[in-house]
Amino acid sequence: MLSPLAVSGHAAAVVDASVALQLEFDAVVDDWSSLATLRSAASARRKQPFFSAVSTLCSELQVSLLGGYLDEVSRLSGVVTPATGAGRQSACKRYEQARFLSSAGLVCFRELWHWRSDQTDYFVDQIASVIGSQSPPGFSCDSSPSVSHPPSPRWRTRFEHSVPLLLACVAHGWSPEVAIDRWAAVDWGFYSTDGKTFFSGDTSLVDLGACEWFSLAGLVEDVVVHVALLNGAVRAITSSVSLRLSGPHGRDLGRGELVDLPYYVVMALDELGEAVLPSQRSTTIVERREAWTKMLGVLDAVTQTIVDGRLVLPKTGFLLRRLCLANHPSFENDTAAKEALGKILAKWIFQGILEHVGPDDVLPALILPCGAVPKSTFPFYRLITDARPANHLIRDWGVSYTSVSQLCDLLCPRDWTWGSDIEDAYHLVPYAGCGGELRDCPRPVLLGNGRIRWVDGKIVGCSPRSCKGLCDKSLGGIMIGSVVFRFAACQFGQKVSGSPLHTLMKAIVRGLLRRLPPIASGVWVDDMTQTVHTPPHPRCGGFVAGCLICTEARKVAVIAQAYWKALCPQIGVPLAPLKGHLLDQGGSHGGMAFDTVLEILKMLPEKLASLVRFLEETCVAPGFVARSLASLRGKIQHYSWCIHHIRVVCASISALIGEDDDQDWDRVVFVPTEVRDLFVWVLDILKTSVFVQMGRPLWPLIPSSAFGAFLRGDNLESKPFLVITCDASIHGWGAVARLSPDQDPFVMVGHYRSSREFLSQSFPSLYSGHHDPDSQVLREARAIVLAVAAASRRYSLRDHTLLIRSDCEPAISVLQKGSSSSSALQGESLAFARFCVDHQLATPLFLHIPGSQMVAEGVDALSRLHAVQARLTESNDRLRGIVRAEAARLGWSITIDLFASMPNALTTRFYSRAVEPEAEGVDALSQPDWGSSVCPSCCSRCREVVFAFPPRGILSRVIRKLEADRARGIIVLPFAITLPFWTKLMNVSLTGRAPNRCIVLRDPSMFLKGAADYGAIRLAVVAFDFWPRHLDRAHEAVCGQEYARRHVSWLRPEDQVDRHRMDDARRQLPP
């Protein structure tokens, strides 16, 4: 039996091991920036963001491994630089990190990040597809495969499949050091006469009987590759099919020289007749790689690989047959398109984006068809390639752009912003090819009529002459006339063409946040919206109206913009001179225009015209390709941020085409009449509705804060509030409407069988056959629709800001977003949207309230209590001491804990997530005012000092609520400077000094009882005060009763009367 001392020592050892594990996990998360995106995606409702984030990790891991491989290839070829070996070390480090995350780190994913079992299983499976399982390599052959055809020494050649076989070996359990060493040494050798076996090096030294054989499966369907090792070196590779590329060869194509190019491929000329030579080349960022580290700080592993010129796209298989596909008629048969794109092609040839493949060079493995698609800006055509034959070889590599919601979090009122468009952005990232080293290579200037002038230039990796024949460059060949080229950089049309670019953009965003004052940036493909915050002050007309604060902020923004414009040439990122938007208190992002002075969001006119054309085509077509319908769905959902009521149509499209991401997107889908009618309705909104010109608020009102203003009598909007509280039961529905808290309510009671009389004439048929809703969600949604319709008979809805209170979250969600799974619920959402459009009613505010509150107000007869949410984490005495000490430093006392339960509340006053006897209220986000309350002792309004420790998923909503209520207090949240609202919080922080004005807690397990419940890597403690500095302090006096519980009663005497009236009316309903 163990002694108490031994048991105690064992427990201490377990704790130490747990702390060490978490510290190692934190270090990996800090080093691998994409894990932050993965963490956010894991909490999303849809699975696709999580799948995309995992694909990003897997692809970045492969890119790092291949960067290490090219590093070793360069060393073996004699190209040694001060950075030689760094790529290999980075690859091995990333491999070990991935191995840790998929094994011991899974505990942290489950306990700290709250992953479900299906998420951890998927993560392990995907990582294992890159680095294999935990067990050592176990794929050796029992006997050596037969090699019946001897090598042909006359045809000495280079082995082209090293990259996919290296990845396959790592996926089968080889360590990266071993795999890199063995495959980097495989270069020249001989194929057997049947092409099924490749002998590396000198064939006279190969004794296949003495070799150790290993099998690799899964590279190509039904094909197994065997690898022979002798003394640790790869001596032979054999397969059941020919490994030598088959298909058309160079002589079969009759390849021409540059002088044979068509007449339209010529450089643009200036007014003096001289060729306009762009300063940007495909190798520019590699030439400026030292500036990236100097100007932007430490780079992540993938960004470093890209700027070092060692990018190899992640692969899932290899190619066995060459393809040469004809160009699309949109290019070949359109003279205007060819003449417009000819100058672009000539520019790309000069820049090294396109490399000419001569008659004696290695033919690209894939020659892809070119096409021309119209675009709205010069040269009014875009050259695209159909890269589907190559895309199936490339692993998915997800990206995450700045959404409109995140942009709103990024911005503050009256901020200064400017927009930047990266010129020819996809071509910024060069392929490493078969090498990765930067070498001199002259570039041609095409002057027309066969005249060519050569200038100095550079190339990254292999040339068409030295290519092995199956690198990324070789997978992107095209043919112009009779002349063959290959893309030396990422090209539009390739599956992951935007992924390396996005990696660079993220590195730039992180670098700009490190400067003072920080430049916050939002990224949308190749567009960047950048902002410098303006100090908070009352609403004004902005800079144009002569506001002094806005004028001073503009000076700071001018300096910041000048810094950005000076930075771009240094790191080799070209800005398009005629795109983006100038420094202003507004701008555009993702096809929408925003104004930080007027605080509105509108659709850009050119995007509106494009969407109208798209809808007009869809309305007349009986059927449409699923991909096009999905694109239409995405456009409508995206632009619903600036146009009221159109989002619910997306659910009807989803019900038509499905939401499965793996479906056949090229199939033709029949569009039924009722769905085409919806498209006509949306088209009518876009063409004639006031909602397009109205736009939507850049920072929509927080419903709970709006209700708090309603109770106080404050008017946050130019329109007065109209608050409708409604509920449903199996017997009928009831609602009350108020224009002010002191006004007698307008009582509305009805039965579902009589609901048609409440509906507008524009949609009477939607309710046929649905007189008796059979689900509570449908009843609650119907109650809201009928209550608003009934209220419209008494109030002019368009002249009010409508706030709807309900205790059914699904019903609220259905009316806001629609339902693709229930046609009955979708009918309710469409009816509500059409009603709002007919009455020119902006999107209402929806406030969810607990069922107990509905009962207390007398609106609910048979309401159900809201689902009890999970209890929040519990802090220990150490964190409480830090919070209290920070409050004492400022002369504060915490008056209320916003997110707590009875066992872990910091004060006697707290709001709980579920109904608790001692809680002052339920659901902090639904409470009217966090900034102040009426003291029960002196009956005066005094400011609160709140303590907030919210779940990660509602952080953004909490910050908006704190700002809206002008609250002060202390908040504990994850330390993450890339959060959109981080800069906004730092602006009102009273803790510490710039740039990190907070207390950083590096080991959450020391401060939380079960740190896994919250899932923080590092914690930040921030004291804040959102009260505007230009206003006098209000409600500061205290009487010593700050901790006294506020006995808030939602049931006033007149409400009691209303309750009895509603009960009487309900009893009179027919059974």
For range 225-241, the mean pLDDT? 88
In whole angstroms, give the CA distance from residue 154 to residue 162: 22
pLDDT of residue 1056: 45
Task: Supply 819's token pair.
Answer: 């339902």
* Residue pLDDT, tens place only, 153-172: 667 888 989 999 999 999 98
Give the list of residues 6+ apart from residue 166 with CB closer than 8 angstroms, or none. Answer: 65, 66, 69, 179, 180, 183
- Residue 971 and residue 948 in contact, taking contact as beta carbons nearer than 8 Å: yes
Region of 802 please: left (phi>0), alpha (psi -120 to 50) or beta: beta
Task: Supply 749's token pair.
Answer: 């009671």
User: For the chain, first and last CA: distance in Å?
Assistant: 72
- Residue 737 and residue 744 in contact, taking contact as beta carbons nearer than 8 Å: no
Name the pLDDT band for 916 (thresholds 50, 70, 90).
Answer: low
CB environment 723-754: b (16+ within 10 A), e (fewer) = bbbbbbbebbbbbbbbbeeeeebbbbbbebee
- Residue 335 and residue 342 in contact, taking contact as beta carbons nearer than 8 Å: no
* Residue pLDDT, tens place only, 299-358: 999 999 999 999 999 998 888 888 889 999 999 999 999 999 999 999 999 999 999 999
In whole angstroms, give the CA distance from residue 1041 to residue 1052: 24
Tell which wins on pLDDT, 491 or 904: 491
Give the list of residues 6+ apart from residue 407 with CB closer than 8 angstroms, or none. Answer: 522, 529, 589, 590, 594, 980
Residue with tokens 């009589």: 754
Counting every residue, how long is the chain? Answer: 1071
* Residue pLDDT, tens place only, 568-619: 999 999 998 888 889 999 999 988 999 999 999 999 998 999 899 888 888 7
Strand residue runs (E) in 160-232: 188-192, 197-200, 212-220, 223-230
To the nearest whole percent, how much of the chain has pLDDT over 90? 44
pLDDT of residue 82: 74
* Residue pLDDT, tens place only, 74-89: 888 888 777 788 889 9
pLDDT of residue 1063: 53
pLDDT of residue 662: 64
For range 450-469, the mean pLDDT? 91
Residue 752, pLDDT > 80, answer: no
Task: Supply 942's token pair.
Answer: 């005094």
* Residue pLDDT, tens place only, 494-539: 888 899 999 999 999 999 998 888 999 999 888 999 999 999 999 9
Q: How big is the chain by its Cα radius of gyration, in Å?
A: 33
* Residue pLDDT, tens place only, 980-990: 899 899 989 99
Name the pLDDT band for 1040 (thresholds 50, 70, 90).
Answer: low
pLDDT mean across residues, the chain = 84
Tell which wins on pLDDT, 769 or 266: 266
In whole angstroms, give the CA distance from residue 416 to residue 556: 9
Q: DSSP secondary-structure letter at 429?
A: S
Residue 826, pLDDT > 60, answer: yes
Name the pLDDT band for 954 (thresholds 50, 70, 90).
Answer: confident
pLDDT of residue 792: 84
* Residue pLDDT, tens place only, 352-382: 999 999 988 888 999 999 999 888 778 889 8
For range 24-40, the mean pLDDT? 90
In whole angstroms, give the CA distance from residue 503 to residue 59: 12
SS3 684: helix
For range 680-692, the mean pLDDT? 89
pLDDT of residue 765: 43
In whole angstroms, give the CA distance from residue 640 to residue 634: 10
Encoded amino acid at 106, one letter:
L
In whole angstroms, give the CA distance from residue 582 to residue 530: 11
Longest dimension (CA), the chain: 104
Region of 85 please: left (phi>0), alpha (psi -120 to 50) or beta: left
- Residue 528 and residue 422 in contact, taking contact as beta carbons nearer than 8 Å: yes
Name the pLDDT band for 15 (thresholds 50, 70, 90).
Answer: low
Name the pLDDT band for 1069 (thresholds 50, 70, 90).
Answer: low
Residue 52, pLDDT > 50, answer: yes
Bridge-based pairing of strands 416-421 and 438-440 is unpaired
For 370-401, the three-class secondary structure string (H helix, E strand, C coil) is EEEEECCCCCCEEEEECCHHHHCCECCCCCCC
* Residue pLDDT, tens place only, 963-974: 999 999 999 998
* Residue pLDDT, tens place only, 99-142: 999 998 999 999 989 999 999 999 999 999 999 875 445 455 55
SS3 327: coil
DSSP secondary structure letters along 234-268: EEEEEESS--S-BS--HHHHT---GGGS-TT----
Residue 179, pLDDT > 80, answer: yes
Encoded amino acid at 389, one letter:
P
In whole angstroms, give the CA distance from residue 725 to residue 403: 32
In whole angstroms, give the CA distance from residue 946 to residue 969: 4
pLDDT of residue 761: 42
Pick from 176, 165, 167: nearest CA to 200? 165
In whole angstroms, give the CA distance from residue 300 to residue 263: 45
DSSP secondary structure letters along 937-968: TT--EEE--EEE---GGGHHHHHHHHHHTT-E
CA 429 → CA 85, 502, 688, 889, distances in Å? 22, 10, 44, 51
Pick from 240, 314, 247, 278: nearest CA to 91? 314
In whole angstroms, give the CA distance from residue 698 to residue 56: 31
Residue with tokens 């007449």: 263
pLDDT of residue 1: 47
Residue 1012, pLDDT > 70, answer: no
In whole angstroms, give the CA distance from residue 905 to residue 874: 8
- Residue 779 and residue 729 in contact, taking contact as beta carbons nearer than 8 Å: yes
Residue 764, pLDDT > 60, answer: no
Residue 900, pLDDT > 90, answer: no
Pick from 767, 784, 783: nearest CA to 823? 767
Name the pLDDT band for 9 (thresholds 50, 70, 90).
Answer: low
Residue 397, pLDDT > 70, answer: yes
To the nearest whole percent, how much of the chain has pLDDT over 70? 86
Name the pLDDT band for 143 (thresholds 50, 70, 90).
Answer: low
Name the pLDDT band for 868 (thresholds 50, 70, 90).
Answer: very low
Q: What angle do CA 810, 816, 821 make, to 5 degrees?
A: 60
